[in-house]
């Protein structure tokens, strides 16, 4: 099973980082690894105590993560980690099928080829190893390969890819348990196809990985009887519970509390 606490899962660049950047990285990691459980509600005070982060940094980080669809604000209550639903999983697979094929036409620079070749060699050295650290490194290496390939995409397309892959990583973390783990496929053929300018083969390799993700998700949902995937009806009911009662906001802002009237 993937080591959620591994320091190698962080992606902060070397050197000093701002408090806001650190808070964003820490909370994103907690969300993507499901350390902050999908659908769970929490306050900024709880986050401050648990992760030892400053309140202002927490607020700014959560606002940014809300823009990525990882959390939602609960008026006058705090925040909620985005739930993992069947609809979300379906939309992620559909998004990958729509966006990733464009990467098959990617033209690699010599420096990118060198970088990708080194990552593919590292990945090949991990094949057949089932220990936690090997799986963690393989998962990170796979993401680094795709991040390099995505560098040639447009700004918005790269943002969509990054967020989609983050959400997929979160789905895997939610579904994995014990020996039920997802092992990334080799990217050697993909990198070779891109190096040779073979867009057709590159497209096949990209689709092969999407289908592997889809097969694992389907298998996990069938085998994990302990899982509860939130339905649309449950989301609607939860939103109704979270919605303030009519007049509650106005009373709260004015400091008044409604009281039942007494009969004279």
Q: Kindly tell me the burial class for residue 16, based on how many C-beta atoms sit within 10 Å of its own C-beta (0-12, 13-18, 19 or more).
A: exposed
Encode pLDDT of 54-68 as tens digits.
999 999 999 999 999
- Single out the residue of 234, 244, 243, 245 nearest to residue 38, CA to CA: 234
pLDDT tens-digit series, residues 150-177: 998 888 999 999 999 999 999 999 999 8
Cut 0.85: pTM above it = no
Mind spelling out the 3-state secondary structure of 157-173? HHHHHHHHHHHHHHHHH
Give the start-to-end residue ranges of the domains of the chain.
Answer: 7-83, 86-223
- Please choose, from the candidates 146, 158, 152, the residue with its C-alpha nearest in 3D space to the C-alpha of residue 191: 146
Architecture (CATH level 2) of domain 86-223:
Up-down Bundle (1.20)
Q: Are 85 and 235 in contact (CB under 8 A)?
A: yes
The CATH number, out of the four listed (1.10.10.10, 3.40.640.10, 1.10.150.120, 3.30.565.10), of the domain defined by the range 7-83: 1.10.10.10
**Residues 11, 8: Cα–Cα separation, whole Å:** 8
- Report pLDDT digits (tens) over 132-141: 888 889 999 9
């Amino acid at each position: 099973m993937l080591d959620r606490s591994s320091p190698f899962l962080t992606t902060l660049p070397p050197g000093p980082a701002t408090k806001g950047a650190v808070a964003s990285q820490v909370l994103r990691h907690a969300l993507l690894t499901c350390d902050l459980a999908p659908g769970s509600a929490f306050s900024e005070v709880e986050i401050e105590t648990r992760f030892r982060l400053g309140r202002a940094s927490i607020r700014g980080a959560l606002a940014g993560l809300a823009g990525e669809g990882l959390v939602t604000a609960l008026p006058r209550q705090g925040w909620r980690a985005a739930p993992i639903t069947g609809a979300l999983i379906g939309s992620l697979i559909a998004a990958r099928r729509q966006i990733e094929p464009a990467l098959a036409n990617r033209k690699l620079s010599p420096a990118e080829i060198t970088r990708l070749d080194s990552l593919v060699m590292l990945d090949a050295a991990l094949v057949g190893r089932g220990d936690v650290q090997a799986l963690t490194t393989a998962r990170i290496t796979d993401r680094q390969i795709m991040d390099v390939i995505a560098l040639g995409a447009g700004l918005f397309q790269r943002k969509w890819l990054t967020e989609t892959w983050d959400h997929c990583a979160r789905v895997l973390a939610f579904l994995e348990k014990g020996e039920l783990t997802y092992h990334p496929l080799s990217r050697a053929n993909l990198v070779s196809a891109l190096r040779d300018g073979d867009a057709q083969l590159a497209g096949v390799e990209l689709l092969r990985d999407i289908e592997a993700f889809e097969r694992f998700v389907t298998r996990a949902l069938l085998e994990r009887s302990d899982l509860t995937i939130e339905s649309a009806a449950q989301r609607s009911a939860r939103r109704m519970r979270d919605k303030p009662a009519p007049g509650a906001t106005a009373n709260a802002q004015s400091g008044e509390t409604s009281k039942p009237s007494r009969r004279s």
